[in-house]
């Protein structure tokens, strides 16, 4: 599928990535154009993004497949991701372009949240918020089904 190709409702796209944390998860995608720090950008009790400068301010990551360019590393990220799990406000999976930092991986292992990275497609344009995404961290497979009722053309992003 090219970046200019129209996606019909129900179309399934398979993306191959590098599985970092094994396991499966599925849910609606939440695509963030910017990185998220699990230490400071999120409220663990609600799962909402609280960073005042983040474009998804006020949006909850709970129950979503979180799609990111990359995460912001922090030695304490594992605790925050695990606490999101304890409060039931965690993402069901994380898919990002770049290799995640080791602390985030540690938290995902404890919380049993699959993480995939280095996909063979531009996930920030192929996956849209609301698409159904199925992730398999063991095989590295990401299956994306266009959200019901949507048909759209993904335009290539040009630098501002």
- CATH number of the domain enclosing 54: 3.50.30.10
Task: Give the tens place of pLDDT for each residue, 83-93.
Answer: 999 999 999 99
* CA-wise closest residue to 43 among 76, 90, 78: 90
pLDDT at 99 over 80: yes
pLDDT at 49 over 70: yes
Is 46 an annotated catalytic residue?
no
Residue 30 phi/psi, 5-degree rounding, is -125, 105
**Does residue 31 lie within any of the structural domains?**
yes
Structural domain of residue 136, as residue ranges? 11-150
Q: Could you tell me the pLDDT band of residue 2, with boundaries at 50, 70 and 90?
A: very low
Task: Give the tens place of pLDDT for each residue, 103-150.
Answer: 999 999 999 999 999 999 999 999 999 999 999 999 999 999 987 655
β-sheet bridge partners, residue 14: 143
**Does residue 2 lie within any of the structural domains?**
no
**Does residue 46 lie within any of the structural domains?**
yes
pLDDT at 29 over 60: yes
Pick the catalytic residue: 37, 46, 60, 74? 74
Q: How far is the C-alpha of 47 from the C-alpha of 31, rounded, in Å? A: 15
- 């497949």: which residue's tokens? 65
Q: What is the pTM for the complete model shown?
A: 0.86
């Amino acid at each position: 599928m090219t970046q200019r190709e129209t996606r019909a409702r129900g179309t399934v796209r398979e993306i191959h990535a590098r599985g970092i944390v094994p396991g499966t998860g599925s849910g609606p995608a939440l695509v963030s154009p910017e990185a998220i720090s699990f230490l400071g950008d999120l409220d663990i009790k609600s799962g909402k993004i609280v960073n005042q400068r983040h474009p998804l301010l006020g949006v909850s990551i709970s129950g979503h497949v979180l799609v990111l360019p990359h995460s912001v590393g922090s030695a304490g990220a594992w605790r925050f991701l695990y606490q999101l799990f304890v409060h039931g406000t965690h993402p069901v999976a994380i898919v990002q372009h770049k290799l995640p930092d080791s602390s985030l991986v540690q938290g995902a292992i404890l919380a049993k949240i699959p993480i995939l990275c280095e996909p063979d497609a531009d996930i920030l344009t192929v996956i849209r918020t609301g698409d159904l995404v199925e992730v398999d961290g063991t095989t590295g497979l990401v299956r994306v089904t266009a959200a019901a009722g949507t048909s759209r053309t993904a335009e290539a992003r040009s630098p501002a």
